[in-house]
Amino acid sequence: MTPATPAVDRQHSGRLFFVVWAWLFALSFLSWLVAYFGIAGIPRWSLISVFMLAKAALIVAVFMRLAWERLALVFAIVAPLLALVAFISALNFEAVYIHSQRENYQGVKAP
């Protein structure tokens, strides 16, 4: 890995960006198809999440050029983002619990 210096800009063939562009289209279209065909439950959530994370990874790695940055910068950016994903997942479980409590104690649904 050669250190990036501001004086020399990294250049890439335009082809790489067209390939990523095509992948973004394909992944968006695939996640739309999941909704179009009304796939429900766990398959729906897992498919949509996989397509979402794949798109996010492509954008961050190639379009935002994080793949070519030094590991020190990559680490500083990716670590907090992973913490966010963990935070959102944790509160998701918490929300499911609160929902069950409301159903149990507010008489919304007969037990």
Binding site for another protein (CB under 8 A): 1-6, 9-12, 14, 17-18, 20-21, 24-25, 28-29, 31-32, 34-36, 38, 44-45, 48-49, 51-52, 55-56, 59-60, 62-65, 69-73, 75-77, 80-81, 84, 87-88, 91-92, 94-96, 98-99, 102-103, 106, 108-109
What CA–CA distance (Å, rounded) separates 75 from 7? 23
User: CA–CA distance from 80 to each of 73, 75, 86, 100 (Å)?
Assistant: 12, 9, 10, 31
Nearest distance from C-beta of residue 57 to another protein, angstroms: 10
Nearest distance from C-beta of residue 111 to another protein, angstroms: 14
Say how many residues make up the chain: 111
What CA–CA distance (Å, rounded) separates 102 from 95? 11
